[in-house]
Structure 1
Amino acid sequence: MDREDVSGSERGVADARVEALRVRLGNDLVLSGPATEHYCRDWHGDITTGAVAVVRPRSTAEVSAAVKAIGALGLSIVPQGGNTGLVLGATPDDPAGQVVISLERMTAIRRLDVDDFSAVVEAGIVLSEFKDRVEAAGLYFPLALGAQGSCRIGGNVSTNAGGINVLRYGMTRELVLGLEVVLPDGSVFDGLSTLRKDNRGIDLKQLFIGAEGTLGIVTAVSVKLMPPAEQVATALLGLNALSDAIALYRRARRDCCDLMSAFEFMPPVAFTLAREAMPDLAMPMPGDYPAYVLMEISGSGLVDIDDLMQRFLQGVMEDGLVLDGVVAVSRAQARNLWAFREGMNEGQAKRGPHLRTDVSVPLSKLADFVQQAEAAVMSALPDCLCVSYGHVGDGNVHLNVLPPAGLTREKTDQLIYQAKGLINGVLLGFCGSISAEHGIGRLKKSDFISGLPQTQAHLLNAIKRAIDPRIIMNPGCQLNFAKDS
């Protein structure tokens, strides 16, 4: 999707609409022309589109006014947070008919209650900044993502983001107590409760979590906070096979219980990719093993986390489940271990366009799925590189496929399309999901629709029509919603 050329008449109409928005909302809120390019490019820079304008409100009232003004012009809205999504959910796809509403100016923490273990925060605050502010108050917000230095809370809610702590704390959905949402007609749903138990009928906030802005714009969120983990033990372990990671996880769940906060698997190529992105990374352990696990347990109070980790590792090494390993003895060493897990993503990006999958299968079938899916890809596309990694504890696999270097973009896209079909074909046999944590967006829409049962499609369309009858809220995302004639 490259930026489209428009005729003089079309440009005149767009200019008139921009001017109308400026009159209604003020010059400070409305961007147009080259100033919008940053908001019309996907996170990896693979896709560049366009928009009539970008509106950047500073309050819920201004979001409401913007929604009303945009709707009055017959335009559609693409809500956007940090624009770090991986499925084009916040990337406009109709440059002549869409306006991006960016929440980046709405960054206030409206309330932080240490006794209630909750906070009310505006949608545009960057995740890492919010986590730092919460930590300074002696509490902890457990959502942790590779993009946490750029992604924003509203986008995390709208995509139901996952991350590395799902094992212990759940997806974003489990951390949300309440929402404030501007609806497609500009009215405001005020559900910013911090109650843990509220059983008064249908929980309306759940409609907007994971909806990717198709039902409204999340402007503020009330979230659960936790006591901080005063002790953290991080270990990188070398294993003989990915199947051993499943057995190791089962053992860790039994021995470490709910103190285990992360359990990630990585292939040997992860270290090569990470060092391509970060050449100064020091290899954490000698040897080259068929599979690796990055494991973390954490806690506070009277529990001795370091002792628990040492006793657990002693047992699994004696039983042959773990061949070798290293335990971080400082926060700096722990950060170095995590740098390999996070840096491998940057290394893949440096190699150019590639297939990024985000699938889930039953935990017990994870190793079998990876083996069969990689075999299917390598049999048909032997020159491609498969990179499988992810979250063992929730069955989430990122099976990425990197085409060889030096190909034309057309040929690269062809290989990516072939690889996706091969992986989805294997996934079907495992009753898995094509989206474990990234959402549907525009990138996965066709695959989502093709596998959607009729009853589910009917319910989703009914909800959309009820809340957004004019089909103005992110219409190109998730499903193909057509405006009524």
Structure 2
Amino acid sequence: MTLPPSPRLLDQLQALLGAKGYSDDPEAMEPWLTDWRGKYHGRAAAMLSPATTEEVAAVVRLCAAQRAALVPQGGNSGMVGGATPDASGNQLLLSLRRLNRIRSIDAAARLAVVEAGVILEVFHNAVLEQGLRFPLTLGGKGSATIGGLVSTNAGGTQVLRHGTMRALVAGIEAILPDGRIFGGLAPLKKDNRGYDLKHLLCGAEGTLGVVTAACLRLVPAAAARATAWIGLESPETALRLLRCLDAALGRQLEGFEIIPHACLTAVLRHIPQTRAPLDAPHPWYALVELAGDNDHDLGGALQAQLGEALEAGLISDVVIAKNEAECEAFWRLRDSISEAERAEGPALQHDVSVPVDLMPRFIAENPARLATAYPGARALSFGHLGDGNVHHHVQPPLDVDGAHWLSVHGEGLSRLVYRHVLELGGSISAEHGIGQMKRALLAELDSPARLAALRGVKAGLDPDRLFNPGKLIE
């Protein structure tokens, strides 16, 4: 059981962190008390912004001694309310944004040690100057921080080749709930001292430890890339194309995204300076990218494979980007879908995964299930077909007050979507996490064995539930 922070504790924290690191000014805290989607609003007794790992550890020790709850926060760009305090005003917001140093980049070893508050785009640019690349990117790269990406085991558009954040983390530094520093930054290839704590902390959403830094794996900067926008008939044909390209091109295939025509239409309607890559509309599109070095004719290889697919009737039309500007224009269409969908009106967003071979089945069957139970409901799926993860947005009927309709039916809609996902052996959260948005659904729908294990880990490491209470596990 946590306790409200006492005046004495607040005085101690203010003395420890100083004016730059402590604020209880409601106006200064206000932007950080609402999640990115505007769905969750909280209050905090104070916002704590330590600048070093040692200061974070000192904060945690003070709070642990007085059983005050901490809510860690990075760029506040999460999608499930995982970094928003509750409405009581009794929790303390722990911002990691001042831990913003890139401690080292080892070009020879292709490793970097990066603090939690470093913004992903800043890190991308820093390693690029060394001829390297951090192969994880997403639409929110201008605000998402390394600590948040580790804590949510972020995915993005390059998982097909490089894996999620967990695959890119070689080591972690974190503060445990008793204030001790877990110094696990060493990038050991072999380490059999029991449970892998770095992988346990990666994806724990700040419920087991506060990530202060990570040792991250890098790859050589892609000297060349080839990007294509493809028109096709269905997710089934997209999957067949994926299998053909994967067999022919192997690890050069870095991205494979699918987009329905309705999503493209929304982007063209709401996002300035965008245009359709193909002359005629198609029911579905695939955005495919190869990456490699200049020793490989990526454009020629992609053109050859897509030419065969076109002759075989697997795809309907294709355009290959002629230069970097066209590559970026294609990706802007993909990365703008969420923004365009928000402009279209209210919708329920579901971040789900199923086995790759079953994704076309889910995309085909789920809208019909929804429409049967909720006449007029519309569903759109887009995203990372290559790793079995789509963003499944459910929109209300056209002739109703959308916000009200979703407030009445939203819970049932989501439960239907998630039950279908679990029937197919999938996950109700592919890359955004559980946070507070999916906590009750996880407890209701997921495997009792999984839930028992998660609760046991939480009880063992944070028995007083001081770290991010109300998130992930009840």
Give the TM-score category using the shorter length: over 0.9
Q: Which of residues 315, 325, 329 in structure 2 aligns to 1:332?
A: 325
The residue that corresponds to 2:262 in the other structure is: 269
Label 1:74 to 1:372 Cα distance change in 2 as closer, same or farther (>3 A).
same
| Alignment pair present for 1:64 and 2:57 | yes
C-alpha distance in 2, partners of 1:455/1:404?
38
The CA deviation at 1:411 is 3.1
Matches within 5 A, 1:53-202: 53-202=46-195
Q: Which of residues 19, 26, 36 in structure 1 aligns to 2:18?
A: 26
**Identity %, equivalent residues:** 38
C-alpha distance in 2, partners of 1:276/1:79?
37
Q: Which of residues 447, 450, 460 in structure 2 aligns to 1:453?
A: 447
Count residues with an aligned counterpart.
470
TM-score normalised by L of structure 2: 0.95
C-alpha distance in 2, partners of 1:392/1:471?
37
Contact 2:346–2:402 at 8 Å: present in 1 too? no
The CA deviation at 1:14 is 7.2
The residue that corresponds to 2:472 in the other structure is: 478
Label 1:372 to 1:216 Cα distance change in 2 as closer, same or farther (>3 A).
same
The CA deviation at 1:24 is 4.1
C-alpha distance in 1, partners of 2:16/2:100?
23
Matches within 5 A, 1:410-421: 410-421=404-415
For residues 234-286 of structure 1, what are the alpha-carbon distances to aligned partners after superposition, in whole Å with 9 as ceiling and x for unaligned?
00100011210011111111111111000000100111221233132122111
Label 1:24 to 1:114 Cα distance change in 2 as closer, same or farther (>3 A).
closer
The residue that corresponds to 2:307 in the other structure is: 314
Contact 2:67–2:464 at 8 Å: present in 1 too? no
C-alpha distance in 2, partners of 1:73/1:411?
44
The CA deviation at 1:408 is 6.8
| Alignment pair present for 1:256 and 2:241 | no
Matches within 5 A, 1:240-255: 240-255=233-248
Q: Name structure 1 gaps, 5 residues minimum.
A: 1-9, 481-485
Contact 1:81–1:154 at 8 Å: present in 2 too? yes
For residues 419-465 of structure 1, what are the alpha-carbon distances to aligned partners after superposition, in whole Å with 9 as ceiling and x for unaligned?
21221232232121111111111101111111333333332222212
Contact 2:263–2:341 at 8 Å: present in 1 too? no
Label 1:279 to 1:95 Cα distance change in 2 as closer, same or farther (>3 A).
same
C-alpha distance in 1, partners of 2:402/2:9?
39
The residue that corresponds to 1:7 in the other structure is: none
- After superposition, the CA RMSD in angstroms is 1.9
Partner SS for 1:356: strand
Label 1:423 to 1:455 Cα distance change in 2 as closer, same or farther (>3 A).
closer
TM-score normalised by L of structure 1: 0.93
Partner SS for 1:456: helix
The CA deviation at 1:200 is 4.2
| Alignment pair present for 1:464 and 2:454 | no
The CA deviation at 1:116 is 0.8
C-alpha distance in 1, partners of 2:262/2:253?
25
Contact 1:14–1:96 at 8 Å: present in 2 too? no
The residue that corresponds to 2:204 in the other structure is: 211
The CA deviation at 1:92 is 1.0
C-alpha distance in 2, partners of 1:246/1:210?
28
C-alpha distance in 1, partners of 2:282/2:471?
41
